[in-house]
Amino acid sequence: MHTRDRLFIGGEWIVPATTQTIDVISPHTEQVIARVPEAREADVDRAVAAARQAFDDGPWPRMTPAERADVMKKLVAVVAERAGHFAETITREMGCPISWSHLGQVLSAQLVLDYYEKLTREYPFEERRQGMLGATIVRREAVGVAAGIIPWNVPLFIIALKLGPALASGSTIVLKPAPETPLDALLLADACEAAGVPKGVVSVLPAGREVGEYLVTHAGVDKVGFTGSTAAGRRVAALCGERLKRVTLELGGKSACIVLDDADLGSIMPGILDGALMNTGQACAATTRILASRARYDAVVDALTAAVSAQHVGDPLDPATQCGPLVAERQRQRVEGYIEIGRNEGARITCGGGRPKALRTGWYVEPTVFADVDNHMRIAREEIFGPVLCVIPYDDEADAIRIANDSEYGLSGSVWTSDVDRGVEVARRVRTGTYTVNGFMMEFGAPFGGYKASGIGRELGPEGLQAYLEPKQINCPMGYEPTLR
């Protein structure tokens, strides 16, 4: 069993304020695999104080963008060198299939940090505009001390969504990973130390919701980046609103995958499954509502059922595994509860619906397909966060778009068609923050976030950096020509 006894506070490994610890449990074996300190309020106070001092008096925000980018480049290199260790650690702590862990968990985090390293070198932190009486400098300054609240499902990637732009801006940041997945965050702390990130710039505090709320409301924190459930996001938004604190929220989803009649079912099924069952369905952007026309409804159901039935479920460290366990027993109970709700609502299970009989331990649920689903059923409206797909019929293209938009969420989606122009037109009409024609993709140089209850603000792209910057105007006397920096 792996054990740590220090917290990474202000760039140093420090004895925690209490002896409380977090047991990390393998979702596959159900055994404790690691024990780490649990941060408490006093640890938050120390981390925020270190971040505040580093921002107010330290070198980080006063470095040139190129100097910050040089440090970020070293961090990317360290993460890349340790990518295999990161991937295996994430698989062990949260059950992600190792094949997806390498790509969706670790490589994606590397690419995000690499993107922000390069953006830091070219971003216009100052620009000249012609004012009414003279030149105006529009300056974009670091927001200050940021707090990053990280969920358990894609932990390293979501850390990168907050850490990358915070570092690029010149801000300092306190990261709070979920208690289910503290190990990869502590590995990242090791990487920050090895890369020479200055003292005080980054802290990592594994803790539960109560301490997370303390961090969000801390008077020394200027900006909050939160990823998690919509219910928790509403709470964070309320707390930040009361304090006029800057906040970015990336929340839940119930995204629709529209299969148009001209799509070839044989060739598109692997791509549909990639978008629907990635990370064993534990992804906010998963396209778990499959919309099929009534004319081809049975064919889509049959093709999807065959593809899902063929998924290999098992040990997440086995490279052949496509669906692993759910992160915790409570999560399995949640998913099984929704499967029962679907049955009671009158939907028809075409495959799955139970626990894999060959697996005696682990929090597994069979990948499940529901047919005969109406979009008003709870299984079609509420985020299940597991390997459960709903196939919903539509009358025509306009009806498909109406059903896709008939949701409190608006995070992701896809359309499958042999006519890409037609697919792009569908994409323009679906009210969601990310959309893909004939695939599932997240472009790191473009904004990611949601409409409606899927969140507020955007991460990734220049828009993600802007969330960590405060715009300022500096007006100069007539005839003065400013030097930008």
* Tokens representing residue 91 in the block: 């698989």
Give the Cβ contact number of residue 235 at 10 Å.
16
| Contact assessment for residue 255 and residue 412, using Cβ atoms and an 8 Å cutoff | yes
pLDDT (0 to 100) of residue 376: 98
C-alpha to C-alpha distance for 11 and 71, rounded to whole angstroms: 14
For the segment(s) 2-251+454-474, the CATH number from 3.40.50.970, 2.40.50.140, 3.40.605.10, 3.50.50.60 is 3.40.605.10
C-alpha to C-alpha distance for 453 and 409, rounded to whole angstroms: 5
Beta bridge partner(s), residue 32: 25
Can you list the positions of beta strands (E) in 284-422?
289-293, 348-351, 368-371, 388-394, 409-410, 413-416
3-state secondary structure of 388: strand
* Tokens representing residue 297 in the block: 């409804």
* Tokens representing residue 49 in the block: 């104080």
Residue 211 identity = V
Enumerate residues 6+ apart whose C-beta is below 8 A from 194. Answer: 78
C-alpha to C-alpha distance for 179 and 191, rounded to whole angstroms: 20
C-alpha to C-alpha distance for 95 and 111, rounded to whole angstroms: 22
Cα separations in angstroms, 12 against 62, 148, 307: 21, 18, 49
Q: How far apart are the first and last CA of the chain?
A: 50
Cα separations in angstroms, 242 against 80, 236, 247, 469: 40, 10, 12, 21
What secondary structure letter does DSSP report for 38? P
Domains of the chain, by residue range, sit at: 2-251+454-474, 256-437
Regarding beta strands 246-250 and 455-456, do their DSSP bridges make them parallel or antiparallel, or are they unpaired?
A: antiparallel
Nearest to 191 by CA among 63, 58, 73: 73
Nearest to 447 by CA among 282, 248, 289: 248
How many Cα neighbours within 13 Å face the side chain of 155?
29
3-state secondary structure of 268: helix
Concatenating the DSSP letter of every residue in 217-249 gives H-TT--EEEEES-HHHHHHHHHHHHHTT-EEEE
Residue matched to tokens 């020394």: 220
Regarding beta strands 2-3 and 7-9, do their DSSP bridges make them parallel or antiparallel, or are they unpaired?
A: unpaired
Catalytic sites, residue numbers = 250, 284
C-alpha to C-alpha distance for 407 and 190, rounded to whole angstroms: 42
pLDDT (0 to 100) of residue 484: 94
CA 181 vs. chain centroid, Å, equals 14
pLDDT (0 to 100) of residue 259: 98
C-alpha to C-alpha distance for 289 and 373, rounded to whole angstroms: 9
pLDDT (0 to 100) of residue 1: 84
- The CATH number that domain 256-437 falls under is 3.40.309.10
Residue-by-residue pLDDT tens, the chain, 485 positions:
899 999 999 999 999 999 999 999 999 999 999 999 999 999 999 999 999 999 999 999 999 999 999 999 999 999 999 999 999 999 999 999 999 999 999 999 999 999 999 999 999 999 999 999 899 999 999 999 999 999 999 999 999 999 999 999 999 999 999 999 999 999 999 999 999 999 999 999 999 999 999 999 999 999 999 999 999 999 999 999 999 999 999 999 999 999 999 999 999 999 999 999 999 999 999 999 999 999 999 999 999 999 999 999 999 999 999 999 999 999 999 999 999 999 999 999 999 999 999 999 999 999 999 999 999 999 999 999 999 999 999 999 999 999 999 999 999 999 999 999 999 999 999 999 999 999 998 999 999 999 999 999 999 999 999 999 999 999 999 999 999 98
Residue 126: in which H helix or E strand, if any?
strand 126-130
C-alpha to C-alpha distance for 233 and 235, rounded to whole angstroms: 5
3-state secondary structure of 216: helix
Nearest to 177 by CA among 208, 133, 139: 208
Supply the angle between the helices 41-57 and 209-217 in degrees, to the nearest 10.
30
C-alpha to C-alpha distance for 356 and 373, rounded to whole angstroms: 24
Residue 403: in which H helix or E strand, if any?
helix 397-405
Phi, psi of 196 (to 5 degrees): 80, 30
C-alpha to C-alpha distance for 124 and 104, rounded to whole angstroms: 30
pTM of whole model > 0.85?
yes
Give the Cβ contact number of residue 96 at 10 Å.
29
| Contact assessment for residue 173 and residue 248, using Cβ atoms and an 8 Å cutoff | no
Beta bridge partner(s), residue 149: 176, 226
